[in-house]
Amino acid sequence: PIVDMSTTVIRRPPLVGLGTFNRFQDADAVGEAVSVAIRAGYRHFDCASLYGNEKAVGKAFAAALKAGEVTRDQLYVVSKLWCSDAAPEDVEAACRKTLDDLGLEYLDNYTMHWPVQMTKDSKVVDGKHEFSIVHQGDRKALAATWRAMEALVDAGLVRSLGVSNFDVRMLGELMQDCKIAPISNQFEMHPFLPQRELVAYCEKANVHVVAYSPLGMGGPRSPQDPDLLGDSLVKHIAGEVGKSPAQVLLRWALQRGASAIPKSLTPERIVQNRDVLDWALSSSQMERLDSLDIGYRFIEVPYFNFDQRPPSNVNTAPPGQ
């Protein structure tokens, strides 16, 4: 694949970004968090049409740009193509809608949100997905969507492309099928789910890792969820380095070569999560954190099963949600 044929420098996402998903669908609160984050020095923002708040995020960008707090070329804005827009003929309109909502002329990175295609009429109602699956992880179909995403680079709408929730096999296939290689793969990563094989593969393939839910969702969300921020080893190491447990987790992700995109609506936490660049964990602290691997995924979705690749061209919707 051709990584970069132009003279434009392709930027990788900055190490710390703000995640903008909000499970309570509170778009204005997310917009406010983006404003706080820009003032705190964040430049990387992880958005998605699915999150339903790109207009509010765009207002925050516009206000900061107008006030001269930041320039467009300092920002690194990522957005994602949702699964119901994955038919090649729908990709450009989806990207233009996102650009319009965010009030931007280009994205720094446009990412395929999942290796999944849903029918065009699939939607989210009151936080619940109503969907039909066209395919999950089908090589040919993913390559066709990707070709339509590559056309967005050629048209100047986006500077680079990324994938999200791709496993080693899907990423490997896409690397063979593409003209413009993905520069990033975004997936859940934290000491309970270190994703060693996938991280090693990405490194080899020159694909930058972006860790989502690096704080383990900030605490248990369901009775079976373990508590990563409250884990005694994480807290102990935080004490050793004089940082918070959240900062230790973010630093762990960075020292494994990844960017991290923690979500927060709380100004002090937004500031705290930024301060992970000028100190380090020792190799023994990294190793002790590595021992926390229990293979636990906080993010499970009804439209994709990580551990079992479904056969191509599944045409029936899975039950539930």
Q: Which residues are catalytic?
A: 51
78 binds ligand A2P (CB under 6 A): no
Using CA atoms, how far apart are residues 189 and 298, in angstroms rounded to an integer?
10
Out of 14, 88, 218, 318, the only residue in the binding site for ligand A2P (CB under 6 A) is: 218
Pick 174 or 246: Cβ nearer ligand A2P = 246
Q: CB under 6 A: which stretch of 6-14, 77-85, 151-159, 256-264 binds ligand A2P?
A: 256-264
262 binds ligand A2P (CB under 6 A): yes
Tell me how far, at minimum, the Cβ of 249 lies from ligand A2P, in Å. 8
Judged by CB under 6 A, the number of residues near ligand A2P is 18
266 binds ligand A2P (CB under 6 A): yes
Q: Is 314 left (phi over 0), alpha (psi -120 to 50) or beta?
A: beta
- Could you tell me where the beta strands, DSSP code E, fall in the chain? 17-19, 44-46, 76-81, 109-112, 116-118, 123-125, 128-130, 133-136, 161-164, 184-188, 208-212, 259-260
- Using CB atoms within 10 Å of the CB of residue 185, give its burial: 0 to 12 exposed, 13 to 18 middle, 19+ buried: buried
Out of 18, 246, 253, 258, the only residue in the binding site for ligand A2P (CB under 6 A) is: 246
Tell me how far, at minimum, the Cβ of 186 lies from ligand A2P, in Å. 12
- Longest CA–CA span in the chain (Å) reads 54
Cα torsion 213, 217, 222, 224 to 10°: value is 60
Out of 162, 272, 281, 285, the only residue in the binding site for ligand A2P (CB under 6 A) is: 272
CA 243 from chain centre, in angstroms, equals: 25
Site for ligand A2P in 8-67 (CB under 6 A): 19
Strand partners, 16: 260
Residue of 108, 182, 184, 99 lying closest to 146 (CA atoms): 182
Q: CB under 6 A: which stretch of 35-43, 110-118, 210-218, 305-313 binds ligand A2P?
A: 210-218
Q: CB under 6 A: which stretch of 61-69, 73-81, 234-242, 258-266 binds ligand A2P?
A: 258-266
Out of 31, 58, 137, 216, the only residue in the binding site for ligand A2P (CB under 6 A) is: 216
Tell me how far, at minimum, the Cβ of 259 lies from ligand A2P, in Å. 13
Q: CB under 6 A: which stretch of 119-127, 140-148, 170-178, 264-272 binds ligand A2P?
A: 264-272
Q: CB under 6 A: which stretch of 68-76, 123-131, 212-220, 232-240 binds ligand A2P?
A: 212-220
Residue of 111, 133, 163, 142 lying closest to 302 (CA atoms): 133
SS3 45: strand
Out of 137, 162, 191, 214, the only residue in the binding site for ligand A2P (CB under 6 A) is: 214
165 binds ligand A2P (CB under 6 A): no
All residues at 6 or more sequence positions from 41 whose CB lies less than 8 Å from its CB, including other chains: 274
264 binds ligand A2P (CB under 6 A): yes
Using CA atoms, how far apart are residues 132 and 125, in angstroms rounded to an integer?
14
* Site residues (vs ligand A2P, CB under 6 A): 19, 213-218, 229, 244, 246, 262-266, 269, 272-273
